């Protein structure tokens, strides 16, 4: 989130590639409104399709894409097609003027006839009021943002040209913002007219990977199924259910059949996360319920489950620091943008020789050991099935991924700062001490959560697996992490 392209290029070479990350999603790349105080969400108010933001210009973007592709790290761009800015006027990040009130965007150009108005949006103030009504939801304004009319060939052509430019530069796909608010047939038209990939970086006839933001928590709203033929769906029920479990509101043992049996879409259509640029500040979720970097133990545990379970394509948020001020359940600083110098330039990520970084500015969740080691776990276990499920009937679980990886959790409510007023289970201070089937070949393995495997030296706990795949698993009630994990490549 909000990194500069030069820094992302560096990170692809020095970390994301070597540590096995498959891709990186970048914040919206096209010109957007410059807003007072420079909130992060100004990037969701497009002014034109010129590639220029505080993350860098087109030349820097191109260079980043080339560097990341060379490392096998694909680039995914967050695209905002639904709308332009709110009703204000001003300048964009590439110097183009705009007037939202008059719906004038000369940098494209878009003029009033390119927007939905009273002829297509039935509400008096042109705002979405009934979010479950498909017509309002698609043709009216989302938070006052000027809503583009995608049925027009002119609008489609402008957006197709932008997306094809990104494809020709070498990006691998898109996160499609606010898909709920665009008609599936319009999106289908736009995406069907995109170029095949740049053969400099991809096999012939490759097509972009697209994942849609459809905020659906069940009920009568716009159903994600309408968009399944258009790419992956960001499954919002995933983070919600997992968070609910890790907050102690639902026992871990129920996760045994987590997925479609819980009402989620099929994993092969799903794109998943625990935290996001929105959720971290309480947008589209509920502050205090969703898990962000201010609760690192919880974030690591929930993320580890996401990465260990065979469901969907996972994404991790890598965010910046901001001063959270919670008042009446809201974060007064929810708007705060990325760290900047006195001139408003985004501050670079600086990596020190000991691999620490300027964490007064950048959180770098992707560099947390528990997270990057679970990313490797996921690539090693591949499509292997969940096997050897074990639970203690409560909040201790373990399972293997085929014969390639093993993970165990011991969620102690007291450890997670969960206040349990009606403490009926006396599980609270329990350690996990069990002889369990790991599914792994015999040998000594490094727990990649309490430590790293450096060459043949394990800095964490070791797990000794016998000829039958059994091992003594121990997770105390006061350890820094509530889980342990290992896999074939962590064998000593
Ligand atoms: C998304 N989901 O559909 C993004 O994930 C979300 O981050 C985007 O909203 C939204 N689409 C529109 O692209 C973000 C902020 C909003 C912000 C909006 C436009 O979450 O809070 O709205 O970007 O910058 C802001 C103000 C509103 C105001 C609006 C128009 O917060 O109060 O009405 O701007 O001026
Ligand atoms: Ca719309």
Q: Given CA atoms 331, 332, 336, 341 in this order, what sign does their dihedral have?
A: negative
Question: Which residue in 184, 289, 195, 176 sits closest to 234, CA to CA?
Answer: 176
Q: Catalytic annotation on 177?
A: yes
ipTM value of the model? 0.92
Pocket test for ligand 1, best of 25, 36, 41, 92 (most atoms within 8 A of CB): 41
Residue 90: CB within 6 Å of ligand 1? no
Question: Which residue in 20, 84, 10, 72 sits closest to 46, CA to CA?
Answer: 84
Question: For residue 198, what pLDDT is reported?
Answer: 85
Task: Report all structural domains of the chain as residue ranges with CATH numbers, in order of start.
Answer: 5-380 (3.20.20.80), 385-490 (2.60.40.1180)
Measured from the Cβ of residue 162, the count of other Cβ atoms closer than 10 Å reads: 21
Pocket test for ligand 1, best of 27, 40, 44, 332 (most atoms within 8 A of CB): 44
Gap between the Cα atoms of 2 and 99, Å rounded: 25
Between CA 161 and CA 233, with CA 69 as vertex, the angle to 5 degrees is 60
Question: Which residue in 159, 47, 30 sits closest to 96, CA to CA?
Answer: 47
Place of tokens 């100004």: 42
Place of tokens 């183009």: 96
Residue 395: CB within 6 Å of ligand 1? no
Which bound ligand lies closest to the C-alpha atom of 33? 1
Question: For residue 416, what pLDDT is reported?
Answer: 61
Ligand 1 atom closest to the Cα of residue 88 is 35
Ligand 1 atom closest to the Cα of residue 277 is 7
Written as six digits, the tokens of 69 are 């592709």
19-61 pLDDT tens trace: 999 999 999 999 999 999 999 999 999 999 999 999 999 999 9
CB-based burial label for 378 (10 Å; 0-12, 13-18, 19+): buried
Choice among 7, 42, 147, 177 that is catalytic: 177
Long-range contacts from 6-11, C-beta under 8 angstroms, 24+ separation: 6/56, 6/60, 6/63, 6/64, 6/348, 7/348, 7/349, 8/64, 8/68, 9/63, 9/64, 9/67, 9/68, 10/349, 10/351, 11/349
Low-confidence ranges of the chain (pLDDT < 70): 414-429
Nearest CA to ligand 1 atom 11: 178
Question: For residue 418, what pLDDT is reported?
Answer: 54
376-406 pLDDT tens trace: 999 999 999 999 999 999 999 999 999 999 9
Q: State in Å: Cα 118 to ligand 2 middle.
A: 13
Residue 9, H or E segment: helix 5-11
Question: For residue 285, what pLDDT is reported?
Answer: 85
Residue 251: CB within 6 Å of ligand 1? no
Question: Which residue in 377, 430, 393, 415 sits closest to 252, CA to CA?
Answer: 393
Q: Catalytic annotation on 130?
A: no
Residues 294-331: b if buried by 16+ CB within 10 A, e if exposed: ebbbbbbbbbbbbbbbbbbbbbbbbbbbbebeeeeeeb
Written as six digits, the tokens of 115 are 């927007």
Gap between the Cα atoms of 445 and 29, Å rounded: 43
């Amino acid at each position: 989130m909000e990194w500069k392209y030069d820094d992302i290029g560096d990170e692809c070479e020095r970390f994301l590639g070597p540590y096995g990350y498959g891709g990186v999603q970048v914040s919206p790349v096209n010109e957007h409104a410059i807003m007072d105080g420079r909130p992060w969400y100004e990037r969701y108010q497009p002014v034109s399709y010129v590639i220029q933001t505080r993350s860098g210009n087109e030349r820097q973007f191109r260079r980043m894409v080339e560097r990341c592709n060379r490392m096998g790290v694909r680039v995914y761009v967050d695209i905002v097609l639904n709308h332009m800015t709110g009703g204000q006027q001003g300048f964009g990040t590439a110097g183009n003027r705009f007037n939202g009130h008059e719906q004038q965007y000369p940098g494209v150009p878009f003029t009033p006839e390119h927007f939905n108005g009273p002829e297509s949006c039935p509400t008096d103030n042109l705002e979405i009021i009934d979010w479950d009504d498909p017509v309002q939801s698609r043709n009216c304004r989302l938070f006052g943002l000027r809503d583009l009319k995608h049925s027009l060939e002119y609008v489609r052509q402008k957006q197709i040209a932008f997306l094809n430019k990104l494809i020709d530069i070498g990006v691998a796909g898109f996160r499609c913002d606010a898909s709920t608010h665009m008609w599936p047939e319009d999106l289908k038209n736009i995406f069907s007219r995109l170029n095949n990939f740049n053969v400099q970086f991809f096999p012939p006839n490759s097509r972009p990977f697209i994942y849609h933001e459809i905020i659906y928590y069940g009920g009568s709203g716009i159903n994600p199924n309408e968009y399944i033929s258009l790419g992956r769906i960001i499954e919002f029920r995933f983070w919600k259910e997992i968070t609910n479990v890790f907050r102690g509101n639902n026992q871990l043992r129920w996760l045994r059949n987590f997925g479609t049996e819980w009402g989620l879409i099929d994993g092969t259509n799903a794109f998943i996360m625990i935290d996001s640029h929105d959720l971290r500040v309480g947008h589209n979720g509920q502050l205090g319920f969703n898990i962000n970097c201010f609760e690192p133990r919880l974030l690591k545990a929930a993320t580890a489950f996401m990465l260990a379970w065979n469901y969907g394509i996972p994404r991790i948020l890598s965010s910046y620091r901001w001063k959270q001020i919670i008042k009446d359940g809201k974060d007064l600083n929810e708007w705060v943008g990325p760290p900047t110098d006195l001139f408003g330039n985004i501050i670079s990520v600086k990596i020190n020789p000991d691999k620490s970084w300027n964490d007064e500015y950048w959180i770098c969740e992707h560099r947390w050991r528990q997270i990057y080691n679970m990313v490797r776990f996921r690539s090693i276990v591949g499509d292997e099935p969940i096997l050897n499920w074990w639970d203690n009937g409560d909040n201790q679980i373990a399972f293997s991924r085929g014969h390639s990886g093993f993970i165990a959790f011991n969620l102690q409510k007291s450890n997670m700062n969960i206040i349990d007023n009606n403490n009926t289970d006396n599980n609270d201070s329990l350690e996990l001490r069990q002889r369990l089937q790991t599914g792994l070949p015999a040998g000594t393995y490094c727990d990649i959560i309490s430590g790293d495997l450096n060459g043949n030296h394990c800095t964490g706990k070791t797990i000794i697996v016998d000829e039958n795949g059994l091992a003594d698993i121990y997770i105390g009630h006061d350890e820094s992490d509530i889980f342990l994990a290992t896999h074939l490549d962590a064998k000593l």
